[in-house]
Amino acid sequence: MWKQWLIGLVLVVLAVGGAVAYRSLSAPPQAKDTGERPASVVNTVLPTTDLVRDRVKAVGSLKAVRAVELTTETNGRVVAINLKSGRQINQGDVLLRLDDRQARADLGVIEAQLADAKRQYERARSLRDKNSISQSLVDELQTAVAVSEAQRDAARARLEDHRIEAPFSGVAGLSNISIGAYVTAGTTITTLDATSRMELNFSIPERFLGQINPGQKVQGGSPAYPDQLFHGELVELGTRIDELSRSLPVRALIDNADGRLRSGQFMSVSLTLRERQALVVPEQAVMVRGDEKFVFVAEDGIARRVSVTLGSRMPGRVEIANGLSAEDAVVVTGQDRLSSGERVRVIDDENAIPDNRFISVLES
């Protein structure tokens, strides 16, 4: 019985094998190369020539180009005040006046004494011409005139000390003085800052010493105004390298026509060292493997890996200092799955590269 079962099983196996062989022989011819990898779909762009800036970043603080604390030079009671915080003040404006009645009276007495001394001197000169008095008396009266004139000048200065004028045009700070207050010499009335241009102090690493010069462009950004850049230029270089930070202190002037910047304010700085025309590609096209930086170039449907040397970086773009020409079609999408020599199919996609025109960051 078991022999019959065995014979039946053998016959079933032979039948199934024959059917499979028949189907494979009768099937229509197809590509036997089903293991070949299809061409990768990529986007490419040509490198563009653009203005590239070599920049160095730093942080600094702002200071008014001219800044003073206005203080009284004498004692007295405030009788007039012309101060308002944040108000623009012109040079020569009277900001505060003290009671000066005593000073005016003292000046009047001295001017009267001077007038009398002059009359006596003139009379003595006329008498001397007639040899009626001695020359020594004339000289004594002339000295008296000179002394009175000096006393008059001192009295005028004491009178002027009873009022405070703006030494230059600027913006007044806070003041706690009010009319009727009695102040003593040395009392701070307010501050005065010239803010149309602000002084920006920062430091540059020592390695850039040979590339910095007065007149180079400076951009500044402040956390208080994240969407605005402030522009200026480098004006002064320090004479000594700081031994701890190995950096050189420098100074720039920043335009502040609208008065938004304040003394003591923190600012991030970008100093332009050099400007030039160079090839740039989208930053997303550059691949990094260890110390090597490379891109893929599409040539006749084949991807070719090209090592490149990078230069300055900008928002969304990077300079190619060496390795590419303006005619190379650089792969910008799908390159992370490519290998050199692999087949590629290039398609057009205007959204393949993000728009970085409105990224509000400082260029590096």
Q: Beta 188-205 vs 48-71: how paired, if at all?
A: antiparallel
By the 10 Å C-beta count (0-12 exposed, 13-18 middle, 19+ buried), 182 is classed as exposed
186, 220, 236 - which closes a domain: 186
Report the chain's terminal Cα–Cα distance, integer Å.
90
- Where residue 11 falls among pLDDT bands split at 50, 70, 90? low
235-281 tens-digit pLDDT: 999 999 999 999 999 999 999 988 889 999 999 999 988 888 888 99
Number of domains in the chain: 4
The C-alpha angle with vertex 150 and arms to 145 and 154, in degrees rounded to 5, equals 145
- Where residue 27 falls among pLDDT bands split at 50, 70, 90? very low
Kindly tell me if the per-residue pLDDT of 40 is higher than 60. yes
CATH at residue 155: 1.10.287
Residue 14, domain member (yes or no):
no
Q: For residue 185, give the DSSP letter.
A: T
For residues 325, 326, 329, 334, the Cα torsion angle rounded to the nearest 10 degrees is 80
CA distance 280 to 45: 11
The answer on 61 and 203 residing in a single domain is yes
The answer on 208 and 61 residing in a single domain is yes
3 state DSSP class of 121? helix
Residues of the domain holding 180:
75-98+164-186
Unique residue bearing structure tokens 């007044």: 172
Dihedrals phi, psi of 346, to nearest 5 degrees: -90, 130
305-352 tens-digit pLDDT: 999 998 888 788 888 888 888 888 899 888 888 888 888 888 876 655
